[in-house]
Amino acid sequence: MSTHTSSRAPADAGPVLLTGKTAGVVLAAILIAAFMELLDATIVSVAAPAIAADLGAGEAAIQWMLAGYTLAVGSGLITGGRLGDQFGRRRVFLLGLGAFMLASAGCGLAPSSGVLVGMRLAQGLAGGLMIPQVFGVIRASFAPEARARALGAYGAVLGLASVAGPLLGGVLVETDPLGLGWRAIFWVNVPVAIAGLVIAARFMPESRTPSGARLDLTGAVLAACAAVLLLLPLVQGRDWGWPWWGFAVLACAVPVGALFLVTQRRLAARGGQPILDPALLRVRAFAAGLSVCLLFFGALGAFFLLLSVYLQLGTGRDALDTGLLILPYAVGSILTSSAGARFASRALLVSGSLILAASQVVLLLLIREGTPGFWALAVPLFFGGAGLGLTAPSLINVVLAGVPGRHAGTAGGVLTTVTQLGNALGVAVLGSVFFARLDDAPAPPPYGDALAAILPWQIACYVAAAALMFLLPKTAASHP
């Protein structure tokens, strides 16, 4: 039995399990939120050239629109999960969703690229609050059978968002609804978020974990500072002219990172719950998994942004054509992701990463030959998506099979955060290589040459990730 009154149940009365229509309604609300967050991670890639032209945004601002968002999401995931455990998942979910809606409206109203980047950071932080509650609510408020179906639905939403992001971005930019242009990609979030807020406020039960880990605010701040010190000069260095103090800022990331590890070690020694327990770094599977996540998602992070810039500014395609060209990649990912998740194994991870590398080799050869047509590009993009589907859904689960069960929750949170950091680093580093190639060349800008300059680095990252995957367990395993 479950009705909307369950949302008013005291948190210490035990978990309220949702059933029937109420379970479906609550699941719809949290999947709406997950869909929006995933959509906004990809939709900006296709719209980036239109945004840059309208706001006069420089290359660094374009990179920050993506890197800042993913970095902010990653910075907030572990902290957001612990806030939900302590103060109530329903409460934090509503706060995160409301903040995401307001930040989306702020993006839609942004008068300059600087304001837009700031609003994207706010969006990412709100997403970092919101997304951990999706899993927390499913775990706390759904019966085991319904929980499995809910997680399957979340996987389907992942696939749908990967398809919808580039395609919806292209449609909205080209059709120019209500004269909004690229701003429509952000305004579309507002009515959807309002629906999610109304449903969640009415039907979602409150739940928390009173004995759960307390918030490690010092660790969260130090980790975020280290990431910003690392990314800031990588993205802005070219605009700054690579001054000495830019390299000094980059160097400061090392002592701040070291201080982060010291505070984590001390907190663990006192019996606390750090964001990253240093003991995990001595676990081979976890240490290798961190490197794999950074390399794999770092190679992936900038790809759609730079491919979109190449397709629109380099080949003259419009935003809709660009979205349609990226569609085969998403279709390939959807077709293989269920197998990747179901038969999670080291062999599939290695195969997926090498397939991705091979697809990039073909793409590199095509671009060097000239301006490839739709089907010439669609084939390697499809196989690249298929490789992604074999790897991404199960990578973290395979890594966790080599982590002691008592550390599985913490390790999973750290690995998920590192995937976001890898995305942001990829945008920063590969984006800098791409735009530097354009800056150094005479007019007209050689967008094909710029894309060809980053593809070998992506290929190397996928191959290196595949090699490191041999240090991971052979199959995924569930922890108690």
pLDDT in the model for residue 261: 92
Helix (H, G, I), strand (E, B) or coil at 213: coil
Q: What are phi and psi of 228, to 5 degrees?
A: -65, -45
Residue type, 247: F
Do 16-211 and 281-480 fold alike per CATH? yes
Mean pLDDT (whole number) for 178-195: 92
Q: What is the pTM of this model?
A: 0.86
Measured CA to CA, the distance from residue 22 to residue 202 in angstroms comes to: 10
Measured CA to CA, the distance from residue 260 to residue 254 in angstroms comes to: 10
pLDDT band at 77 (very low <50, low <70, confident <90, very high): confident
pLDDT in the model for residue 237: 84
pLDDT band at 210 (very low <50, low <70, confident <90, very high): low
pLDDT tens digits for 360-373? 999 999 999 888 99
**Architecture of domain 281-480 in this structure:** Up-down Bundle (1.20)
Pick from 126, 131, 139: which is nearest to 207 by CA?
139
**Which residues are within 8 A (CB) of 191 and not within 5 positions of it... i.e. 6 or more apart?**
none
pLDDT band at 213 (very low <50, low <70, confident <90, very high): low
Measured CA to CA, the distance from residue 434 to residue 318 in angstroms comes to: 20
Q: Does residue 13 have a pLDDT over 70?
A: no
pLDDT in the model for residue 386: 92
pLDDT tens digits for 380-422? 999 999 999 899 888 888 998 888 877 777 888 888 889 889 9
Measured CA to CA, the distance from residue 420 to residue 417 in angstroms comes to: 5
Region of residue 56 (phi > 0: left; psi between -120 and 50: alpha; otherwise: beta): left
pLDDT in the model for residue 6: 36
Percent of the chain whose pLDDT exceeds 90: 42
Q: Are 167 and 174 in contact (CB under 8 A)?
A: no
Measured CA to CA, the distance from residue 336 to residue 217 in angstroms comes to: 39
Structure letter (DSSP) for residue 9: S
| Domain 16-211 top-level CATH class | mainly alpha
Q: Could you give the residue ranges of the DSSP H alpha helices within 188-272?
A: 189-203, 217-240, 244-269
Measured CA to CA, the distance from residue 429 to residue 423 in angstroms comes to: 10
Q: Does residue 341 have a pLDDT over 60?
A: yes
Measured CA to CA, the distance from residue 164 to residue 323 in angstroms comes to: 9
Helix (H, G, I), strand (E, B) or coil at 56: coil
Structure letter (DSSP) for residue 181: G
Q: Are 286 and 296 in contact (CB under 8 A)?
A: no
Which residue did the predictor score with more confidence, 238 or 293? 293
What are the extents of the domains in the chain?
16-211, 217-272, 281-480
